[in-house]
Amino acid sequence: MNAINDLSIWQVMLAYVFVLVVLAITSIRGIGREKEILISSVRMTIQLVLTGYVLVYVFANPSPLLTALIIVLMECFAIYTVFNRFKGRLSKKLKITIALSMLVGTLACLLYFLFIVVRIDPWYDPQYFIPIAGMMVGNSMTGIALGVKSLIDGMSIQRNLVEEALILGATPQFAMTSIVNNTFEAAIMPTINSMLGMGIIFLPGMMTGQILSGTSPATAVNYQIAIMLGIMGSVAITVILMLQLGYRSFFNEEDQLV
């Protein structure tokens, strides 16, 4: 395998031509998203540069405390991002449910994947723990965000149907079945669609990175298959936990809609 070609700072700067292209398109079309594009590009650059320096230190000085701290920060930021996206629209009960679902769903899948599937040694090896945790937490955060949006929209649109079902004697769980099922489908579908196109339409990021670093394509494929299955499981478990616990936040103790 050939060694990876290092990119100089000037070569990276050349990639910002794509930002200028997007800015030109949005400006010419009058879309008005130039500020958001600039902020997101600058923020991404700063965050990744800082993350790079942090990871260099963490990888050179592996520590269970540092690894655990980074995972906690990932989880907290993911939960905060979901809360911030739906500011003013989430009840206290639903916020607790979202946080609990994120923590239980992602950590359970992450620990199973690393200790049972990959079998890392030492157990806190940041080279595996951090990037795989990032992929699982990030995708689960997206799934939760889609699920919360679909759940809130579903309750808004189908509130009358839920009330009618309750009047006819249905339990809250039965009355919410259609909304919960549709929400789960909406949240998990992006992951499924991504899996459908892998290997034919595109090569996923993790596999591409491994190949560029000189890893055998066969090894890269094995890791990509395993991590995508892990991501699918993490998203599914996180979302279904949120839904099974979260639908109750729309009802009071007397099973009445609030």
Tens digit of pLDDT for each residue in 34-88?
999 999 999 999 999 999 999 899 999 999 999 999 999 999 999 999 999 998 8
Per-residue pLDDT averaged across 90-99, rounded?
A: 92
Q: Which tokens is 111 given?
A: 């620990």
The angle, 0 to 180 degrees and rounded to 10, between the axes of the packed helices 126-157 and 92-112 is 140
* Contact yes or no for 110/102 (Cβ under 8 A): no
Give pLDDT, residue 147.
94
Give pLDDT, residue 95.
94
For residues 154 and 101, the model is more confident at: 101
Percent of the chain with pLDDT strictly greater than 90: 56
* Contact yes or no for 255/107 (Cβ under 8 A): no
Give pLDDT, residue 116.
93
Contacts 24+ apart (CB under 8 A), 7-15: none
State the average pLDDT for the chain.
88
Q: Is the pLDDT of residue 220 over 90?
A: no
Give pLDDT, residue 100.
96
pLDDT bracket for residue 203 (50, 70, 90): low
- Residues 137 and 24: their CA atoms lie apart, in Å, by 34
Residues 6+ positions from 188 with CB-CB distance below 8 Å: 143, 232, 235, 236, 239
Give pLDDT, residue 123.
87
Give pLDDT, residue 230.
93
Q: Which tokens is 66 given?
A: 């540092």
